[in-house]
Amino acid sequence: MNANLVTPVIDNFSDAKVNGLINDSGDWDHEVLQDLFLPADIDRILATPISPHIKDTWYWKGDSRGIYSVRHGYHMLTNSYLTVDPHLQFTEWQRLWVLPILPKVKNFLWRCMRNVLPVREILKTKHVWASGGCPFCTYDRETMEHHFCLCPMVNQVWNGSIILNNESLALMLNRVLCGPSLGEAACMWAIWNARNNLIWKEVTFSSIGLKQQVASYCELWNLNYSKVANTTNVVQITSVWVPPQVNVDAAIFSDGVGYGAIIRDHTGRFVSSQCPD
Ligand SMILES: [Zn+2]
């Protein structure tokens, strides 16, 4: 049974407390309940016993004892909670956690799949004022699906492939995470950073620059996080000194520049890197 009330929340009462539904005798106030709630909810509320002499406290609804644990919270977020919302059907959590990418990018993808990334259409559902639509084109709604896949300004970053087939972003990622998916993670991270740079710093971008950024992320993550790179301990000893290698790339935008640099030692192994977010 769904523990949540089905009556829509009235904005003016969003901060109201339960004691406003209880009369002076310490019982549920039937008239107030009938004014505010749908019949299905009224029956459930009336079936809830009142204990006016017991001090109020917090109980975690994911546990029969009301005790919260990280384990319960995780399972609620990734399983039972997701089945409530048909748009949140991402299931490939294990594959997401082992992707060889920066932890903050995993957090970003997690927010995408939890539908809490602050794009404008999501902000509106949380009653946060957010005017305007897509920051990249004239489309009047900034949804995650449009922002990351359907927007013509970012579509080229995916190399022209029709990556979204009448499905949600979560379902699309479910599908692509079954195979090599570093590129998809890099695309989304680059698009998200381009969006934030445009909105907050007024830095414009080009599809070519964005593609270069994606390639740079992939190379950096491969070097820094892939198991092969991290577990290679073989050092070839040579008497001939070979200079270290430095790979650099840069792009000029209308009001700024982007750059990336990778330094390798004489064996070609990664030493250090630098690039803007
Ligand atoms: Zn757009």
Q: How far apart are CA 76 and CA 3, in angstroms?
A: 13
Report the separation in Å between the CA atom of 150 and the middle of ligand 1, taken as the mean of its atom positions: 7
Report the separation in Å between the CA atom of 31 and the middle of ligand 1, taken as the mean of its atom positions: 49
Token digits for 148? 């990351």
- Is residue 268 situated within a structural domain? no
- 75: Cα separation from own chain's centroid: 17
Report the separation in Å between the CA atom of 105 and the middle of ligand 1, taken as the mean of its atom positions: 22
Q: How many domains does the chain have?
A: 1
What is the per-residue pLDDT for 82?
A: 42
Contacts by 93-102, CB closer than 8 A, 24 or more apart: 95/177, 95/178, 95/181, 96/177, 99/177, 99/181, 99/182, 99/185, 100/182, 100/221, 100/222, 100/224, 100/225, 100/226, 100/227, 101/182, 101/185, 101/186, 101/189, 101/221, 101/225, 102/221, 102/225
What is the per-residue pLDDT for 236?
A: 33
- Is residue 94 situated within a structural domain? yes
Report the separation in Å between the CA atom of 170 and the middle of ligand 1, taken as the mean of its atom positions: 19
Report the separation in Å between the CA atom of 149 and the middle of ligand 1, taken as the mean of its atom positions: 9
Report the separation in Å between the CA atom of 98 and the middle of ligand 1, taken as the mean of its atom positions: 31
Non-local CB neighbours of 135 within 8 Å, separated by 6+ positions? 142, 195, 198, 199
Report the separation in Å between the CA atom of 129 and the middle of ligand 1, taken as the mean of its atom positions: 19
pLDDT in tens, the chain (277 residues): 456 677 777 666 767 788 888 888 888 988 888 888 888 888 888 888 887 777 777 777 666 677 777 777 766 665 544 444 544 567 788 888 888 888 899 899 888 888 788 888 888 877 777 788 898 888 888 888 888 888 888 877 876 665 666 777 777 777 777 666 788 888 889 999 999 999 999 898 888 888 899 899 988 888 877 654 444 333 332 333 344 556 666 666 666 666 666 665 555 566 666 666 5
Q: How far apart are CA 251 and CA 197, in angstroms?
A: 15
Report the separation in Å between the CA atom of 154 and the middle of ligand 1, taken as the mean of its atom positions: 8
pTM: 0.49
Report the separation in Å between the CA atom of 92 and the middle of ligand 1, taken as the mean of its atom positions: 27
Report the separation in Å between the CA atom of 16 and the middle of ligand 1, taken as the mean of its atom positions: 39
- Is residue 173 situated within a structural domain? yes
- 25: Cα separation from own chain's centroid: 47
Cβ(116)–Cβ(202) below 8 Å? no
- Is residue 62 situated within a structural domain? no
- Is residue 240 situated within a structural domain? no
DSSP code string of 14-78: TT--GGGGB-TTSSB-HHHHHHHS-HHHHHHHHTS---TTSPP----TTSTT----HHHHHHIII
From the number of C-beta atoms within 10 Å of its C-beta (0-12, 13-18, 19+), residue 14 rates as exposed
Q: How far apart are CA 30 and CA 46, in angstroms?
A: 8
Report the separation in Å between the CA atom of 133 and the middle of ligand 1, taken as the mean of its atom positions: 8
Report the separation in Å between the CA atom of 135 and the middle of ligand 1, taken as the mean of its atom positions: 6
- Is residue 184 situated within a structural domain? yes
The domain of 94 spans: 88-234
Task: Determine which helix (DSSP H) or strand (DSSP E) holds 272, and give its type and residue range.
Answer: strand 270-274
- Is residue 53 situated within a structural domain? no
